[in-house]
Amino acid sequence: MDLSMLHNTNLRKILFITRESKELPGARIRAYSFAAELRKLGWDADVFSFADHLGAFSGKEEHRLTHKDKLTYNRKAYRHLSKIKNATFIIQRVNYHSFAPLLAYLKDKKNTHIVLDMDDWEIREKIYRIGKLSNSKAEMLTRFIATRAVFCIAASQYIYRFLSRYTKRVLYLPSTVDANVFYPGNGRPLSGPVTFSWIGTMNREDDAKNVIFLIECLIACRQQMEDMVLEIVGDGRYSTMLQYYLNSIQDKNAVRWLQYMPYEQIPEYLRQIDIGLVPLIQKTRFNEAKSPAKLFEYMASGKPIIASSIGEAKQVVQNGKNGILADGQSAFCSAMLILARDAALRRSLGHEASKTIRERFSLSKCINVLHENLSHTF
């Protein structure tokens, strides 16, 4: 994108600001996909990505950014953003990239507006407050932005409740999926092992622990039914932790680690697997706030899912109807064995899962909510 084109308009510009690259689900769905859908509805919408447009490290490489790097990227971003007239900056999460759009807004509050879109918990787990001060700079910055935003967007009920402490203008908009891209296939071949799947990034230690939890479950299940396998799609900063664990197990046939897979290949891949797994085993604010993209992608693809009953999964999954909620190794193993042994149940849950997405959580459904809110605001 030619950055000079951002400020060549007399219309209200809706600009999604993200620090991440298009390859990561947060930016891909809640910035690039949202902007594309809004353009179809007549809005002048675009994306400004610190990774894609300024070259900042993203994802597993983001930890390499120094404080100086972050300041430099904010200066560059501010030079572009401050020139845009009649702008609404939708800040996708609060992190180092939030300062440039915030300063551009403060420079021209009469003609510039901000919206905060929060789909992940990027604040400390333990927050201590004395008056308006807290031990978390991210929490204070989030509060500062939320109280000045024309409205906020929450991807989970947990985040909705958190933001509602500071503003009444909160819109609930969970993670979503393009049902024209992710849809059920014709089914997998009847031969071969039952294939469980986990897709994601391992940029946090807990991510790797969740995957290791699944491997332990799968190995335990194979004591009763050997004809099953776990496929892992993804890598990340903590993928070495997974590699060490895989090197230590004896049952080498239990797991296939496919490493990184381009996003364009994911929809077809999901049409070939049997069961999607979404474990969040840690009782943390991060997981409570989670609205995982893979949950919606599995379901849209007509796959039965087994998910932890934490975060937004418990708002989406009706246990036993369109998926299974399970907590702890015993419950996960039991659910895995039940689905592995019952193809008819897999088909039934998968059908209901796909129906749930089409009726409630498809991209077209969710973007209409944002469109209506923007129309009422401007």
| pLDDT tens digits along 276-326 | 999 999 999 999 999 999 999 999 999 999 999 999 999 999 999 999 999
Distance of CA 106 to the CA centre of its chain: 29
Alpha-carbon gap, residue 368 to 37, rounded angstroms: 9
3-state helix, strand, coil in the chain (%, to 5): 45, 15, 35
Alpha-carbon gap, residue 321 to 354, rounded angstroms: 11
Q: Both 336 and 366 in a single domain?
A: no
pLDDT in tens, 54-113: 999 999 999 999 999 999 999 999 999 999 999 999 999 999 999 999 999 999 999 999
> To which H or E segment does residue 305 belong?
strand 305-307
The residues, ordered by sequence, that sit 6+ positions from 247 with a Cβ below 8 Å of its Cβ are none
pLDDT, mean of residues 8-33: 89
Alpha-carbon gap, residue 188 to 72, rounded angstroms: 50
Q: What SS3 state is found at 280?
A: coil
- Mode of pairing for the β-strands spanning 324-325 and 305-307: parallel
Q: What SS3 state is found at 86?
A: coil
Q: Give a yes or no: residue 183 inside a domain.
A: no
Task: Report whether pLDDT(158) > 80.
Answer: yes
Amino acid identity of residue 144, one-letter, is F
How many separate domains does the chain show? 2
Give the model's pLDDT for residue 132: 82
- Mode of pairing for the β-strands spanning 129-130 and 133-134: antiparallel
Give the model's pLDDT for residue 188: 65
Confidence of residue 191 (pLDDT cuts 50, 70, 90): confident
- Mean pLDDT taken over the chain: 94
Q: Both 243 and 308 in a single domain?
A: yes
Q: What is the CATH number of the domain that holds 233?
A: 3.40.50.2000
Q: Both 55 and 129 in a single domain?
A: yes
Q: What SS3 state is found at 279?
A: coil
Q: Both 79 and 13 in a single domain?
A: yes
Q: Give a yes or no: residue 184 inside a domain.
A: no
Task: Report whether pLDDT(7) > 70.
Answer: no
Task: Report whether pLDDT(129) > 90.
Answer: no
Q: Give a yes or no: residue 278 inside a domain.
A: yes
pLDDT, mean of residues 150-159: 97
Q: Is 59 left (phi over 0), alpha (psi -120 to 50) or beta?
A: left
Q: Which of 152, 140, 156, 174 minimizes the C-alpha distance to 92?
A: 152
